[in-house]
Structure formats: structure tokens, C-alpha cells
Amino acid sequence: MSEVKNLKYYIETWGCQMNEEDSEKLSGMLKRIGYTKTEAKEEASIILFNTCCVRENAENKVYGNLGLLKKLKKNNPDLVIGICGCMMQQKGMADKILKEFPYVDIIFGTHNSYKFPEYLNRVKTEGVQVKEIFDKETEIIEGIPVDRESSIKAFVTIMYGCNNFCTYCVVPYVRGRERSRRPEEIEKEIKELVAQGYKEITLLGQNVNSYGKGLEEEIDFAKLLRRINEIEGLERVRFMTSHPKDLTEDVIMAIKECDKLCEQIHLPVQSGSDEILKKMNRHYDREKYMSLIKKIKEEIPECSITTDIIVGFPGETEENFLDTLNLCKEVGYDSAFTFIYSRRNHTPADRMENQVPDDVKHERFNRLVDVINKGVINGNKVYEGRTVEVLVEGPSKNDETKLMGRTRNGRLVNFPGDSSMIGKLVNVHINRAQPFSLLGEIVE
């Protein structure tokens, strides 16, 4: 790589936590070769967009933002523009981008992001345009530098890809098949983070419950959790995302029995209707899902349960939708990511008949959000008058005179305090529950 002086980079990320961690690695690679980060596109020597393709809205944002870069490129011909991520893995997408936005310099996908410094070097030294998309997943590359967004909490990916092929989802096509990292590599990364002062780790994977497949060592997710729980100095462990068809009693019991595992499970239901779940190819029914909820609540009463829900899947009737509403009322989720179904090219659902009209989708979406929000508010009220352990993350986003942090089960808490407490575990007495957060004060 040629010498770099006073060069800055800007990264914009769309999508899930996996994309966020990918961007932290891209940032780490750039810092290793001498670049510094900027939050202003106008200052950047390289602008990199890390894309998502799970929903149409995410793609539209990419097109809009790429269009805005045309003027910057004209004013600064040396500006390097790169685009990567899930959106680029879609068939024909890279060529479409280059045709509509010919000033893009680098395009690469999810499977070869580790080669980014090589691509950047070619653009800088040879003056060429680089487009390289690997069709299939590669072996897992370890040792990539990571520039973490937080100094308190960190993402650690334990596996890549997905084998489930839900009919609405593009993830198996853009992230590849399931591959698990070796447990010793995961433990090594976490121990290094603990040595740097990190308190909380979130384990990532499209389906963490599938962990262990393809490894020589006989290990599953529950066993991995118990091994991580033994790491000295680590305070908290979370994970996402769990697929209901693979969530085992062993995992539930590990959360119950391991002191560092937080009482929080993200368990996407997507629909409360058996008919729709079958069309989605989810491999469980309502009864199976509710039996898991019952088991979790019996074994871990303090466990917070969060979910993902899709509204307006092809063929969804009012009766199907009411099944979802009723399930949400029964579970009483602590939060939910709610989505209006978005058609995705090359997925079976895109070819299904009886696509639900947009106005019906939006009307149902609003009703769903209302039910979810009522459940969240009721769940928060339970904490009034209680004292909870909070990991202090930093200043409150709504009131800089206060601090904010989260309970073990993921509830947001705001309270008075000074910056010396950031990164520490404190006990907070909850005085009042707000709709989406708790207000309290530190107690000795």
C-alpha cells in the first residue's frame, strides 16, 4: 500500500448488527494503513457505503446517497467512492450501479470484504475501477483489525450465513451458507476485548442457535455460551438472533444458570398465523413458538423477550393478521422490530399471488405498533420502585445532564450522574417508567 498522509475516510452503514460489525472491520483496515475517520463527506478522501438489501427502503437510500456524491467527485477527482455489502451480492446489482453511477471506483461483496485494502491500493496506484463479487462464501478469515464504535460494548460474530431460506428473505443468497468460527478464536477475541476494558459482548449470527455446524469439535451454542461465561473479567453477554425452530432447552438453561448471560432473548416470530408461517417457510407453528415463550418465562421470569414481525406478507388476510395481534398481546413483548413486507427479487414470496395492497399493509402496521407499544409501557411500569443493575454507557441522548445505560434485560435507563461512572455497573432505583425508558437515581 502506498504511503498515506492526512487522508480521511467516511463510512455509512445500513442494515443489521452484522453490517455494523463489517463496517467496524473496514474502519479497522483503513486505520491500519494510516487513514483517519471523519463524519463529514466533504472532508473525506474515500467514501464507503456498506449496504443492506433486506428491504426496498434501504436500497433506495443507497441510490439517493450515491447520486449526491456526483458533485463531490466532480469537485475532487481524487475522491475514492466505494460500495459494498449485501446489496452488491444481488445478481446484476454491481453492473447496474456502475451504469447509473459511473463515478463509483470500488464495488465488492460480503464474501471478500477482507480484500478491501488491496482494491483501494489498485485504485490509488493503477487508476483502475475495481469490481469483484465472490459468488460463494469463502473460508472464515481471522485477524482482521476492528475499529469498535464503543469502548464499553462490542459485537463478536460467532457464525456467518444462513441455511433457512425463509421465502421473504435474501440473506442466504447474499451472506451464503452457515459457517461457524472456531470456539478458541471466539474466546481469544473476547479475552482481548476484556483486556482492553470492554464490559459487555453481543454474540452475532444470522442464526446463533445453529452454531457448531461444520466444526471438527463437537460443540453447540449452549456449550459455547457456558465456555464464554467462564472468561474472567467479562461482565455481560448477549446474543442475537435466535431462530425459534432451533432454540433449545439447553440454551434457555444456560441463560438461567450462567451469571454473565443477560436475561434477554430476541426471538423473531414474524407472524402469529400458522398459515402465514408455513408460507414463510419458518419451520415452526404458533404452538411451538408459544411453548418456547412459556418455557422461557417459567425458567427465567426476569427475561425480556423481543421479536421481529412482518406485516402484509402475500396472502395475509385480516384473520391472519388478528392471529398476530393476539399473539403479541399474549406474549407482551418488551420491544419489537416491526416491518411492512417488502418484495425482494429472486425470493419465492416475490412471485406469490395475492400481494397485499400498500394501504392495507400500512393500516395493519399502525394497529400492530399500537399493540406492541402498549405491551412495552405495561412492562416498564413493573419496574417502578425497584432497584436494578445498570451498565453506564454514556450521556443520555435526550438530556446531556443525565447518563444512560441498560439493565441486564435490556431496558434503557436515564439517571443523574457524572462522566466518571461511564463504563461502570451501578445500582439505580427506578422512580418513574416512561413509555420507552426508565427514570431513576443511583443508590449506594
Separation CA 312–CA 276 (nearest Å): 10
CA pair distance 389, 407, nearest whole angstrom? 6
**Number of neighbours of residue 42 by Cβ within 10 angstroms:** 11
- Whether the bond between 241 and the residue before it is cis, its omega within 30 degrees of 0, is yes
d(CA 250, CA 228): 15
How far apart are the C-alpha atoms of 239 and 157, rounded to whole Å?
10
Angle at 117 between CA 114 and CA 122, to 5 degrees: 130
DSSP 181: P
Chain-centre distance for alpha carbon 256: 24
Would the annotation count 166 as a binding residue? yes
86 assigned to a ligand binding site: yes
Helix or strand (DSSP H, E) at 321: helix 318-331
Within 8 A by CB and 6+ apart from 412, the residues are: 404, 405, 406, 436, 437, 438
| Residue 259 DSSP code | T
Ramachandran angles phi, psi of 414, nearest 5° = -115, 140
**Is the sign of the CA dihedral 388, 390, 395, 398 positive or negative?**
negative
CA–CA distance, 433 with 384 (Å, rounded to integer) = 6
Count of residues in the chain:
444
52 is annotated as contributing to ligand binding: yes
Annotated binding-site residue? 328: no
- Annotated binding-site ranges: 16, 52, 86, 162, 166, 169
- Annotated binding-site ranges for [4Fe-4S] cluster: 16, 52, 86, 162, 166, 169
